A and B are shown apart, each in its own frame.
Chain A
């Protein structure tokens, strides 16, 4: 698949987060989104995931048949989408049945992330890093061409970070796309970098600024 974003702008609670972001990704390519805290990295991922509407600009996908963008992507973010009372296996089975296009079984996916022993443990008993690995195992139980990863290495130990780097390399070798918001290098070879910073923000509106920028939040 091919993903193109043109002149994206985002607004949350009436405040302009960023504007004028453009990028294009083809098969096998990866994009690292960087920037200071609060720059809008997670907001950009939410825009791509379809949870937020862009204030301006367009997001287009090509070569995916009739699927919509939301049906082509996996999201792993701060909110991991796991239900604490259910076991790791039940969580992954649900994700697989919900998202469709199953590839690996929950047991295989967890084994790959070195968490095979936690298959029948309620997710509530797992540590933060282990929960993150269960969430990452979701990437493997069904096939989706675009991975949106928000700080994927948060709470992961070095061994798991290496596993994740391997998974991402394999995904890209199979023609997949990755957009990752991060503060550190993820082991993504020749990934392009999109830096969201002050330069992309419009200058602060003067007191008599135009209507769009002086809009108060309510």
Chain B
């Protein structure tokens, strides 16, 4: 079972690194959104640093959607999913491995690069660190929630838009607690750990429910 997961993660990382992989693309998309905001709002540094964490989080939510529609669809189209059905492991393990690989190529780089992008929206040191930490804790929730939508739309052509409509509402709690944790770090009435712990809980819940729901959707879609 561990061998199955290792094989899947290794292959998906390999694919992300090849031409047409979505790895670097979502990071560039993240950068674009964050870079656009100062142009739209003008050079008001106070305003930018106040809404900076919210912008970074919004950009992260949107960047997570990039490439998510192909998470299961690509395997459904070329028959790899049939191959995975025959693996000596339940579908849940297959889903878990694929989502982990997807997070490693999108969510993790996003969290690591966020301090750098924080410069564009005039964040101070504390806020940069807090944003990176909350993204690190919160992006798994986004990926797992997205995986359910990806599994539901796996056999639909041009399912990307339906996917976004399906999963964006479900990402709202993660967004709320992600932003509020970041804001709590740079002063506020709530201690930093309270929203952060809720955010971790959201990630854990999404990991369990998302894995089972996506596996069920993949079985049901046939």
B85 engages A51 (CB within 8 Å): yes
Interface of B is mostly: helix
A-B contact count (CB 8 A): 78
Contact with B along A135-146 (1 / 0, CB 8 A): 000000000100
- The number of chain B residues touching the other chain, given as a range, is 20 to 34
Bound Cα distance from A67 to B86, whole angstroms: 11
Interface of A is mostly: loop
| A45-89 interface with B by 8 A CB criterion | 46, 49-53, 67, 70-71, 73-75, 77-86
Bound Cα distance from A11 to B19, whole angstroms: 40
Highest count of chain A CB atoms <10 Å: which of B4, B15, B83? B83
Q: Does A94 contact B (CB under 8 A)?
A: yes
- The number of chain A residues touching the other chain, given as a range, is 20 to 34
Return 29 A-B CB contacts under 8 Å, by A number.
A49-B85, A51-B222, A52-B222, A70-B85, A71-B86, A71-B87, A71-B88, A75-B79, A77-B82, A78-B79, A79-B82, A80-B79, A81-B79, A81-B82, A82-B78, A84-B78, A85-B15, A85-B19, A85-B20, A86-B14, A86-B15, A86-B18, A94-B10, A94-B11, A98-B4, A98-B8, A99-B83, A100-B3, A100-B4
Binding site for B on A (CB under 8 A): 46, 49-53, 67, 70-71, 73-75, 77-86, 90, 94-95, 97-100, 144
Binding site for A on B (CB under 8 A): 3-4, 6-8, 10-11, 14-15, 18-21, 77-80, 82-88, 222
7 closest Cβ contacts across the A-B interface?
Answer: A79-B79, A97-B7, A85-B18, A81-B79, A81-B83, A94-B11, A98-B7
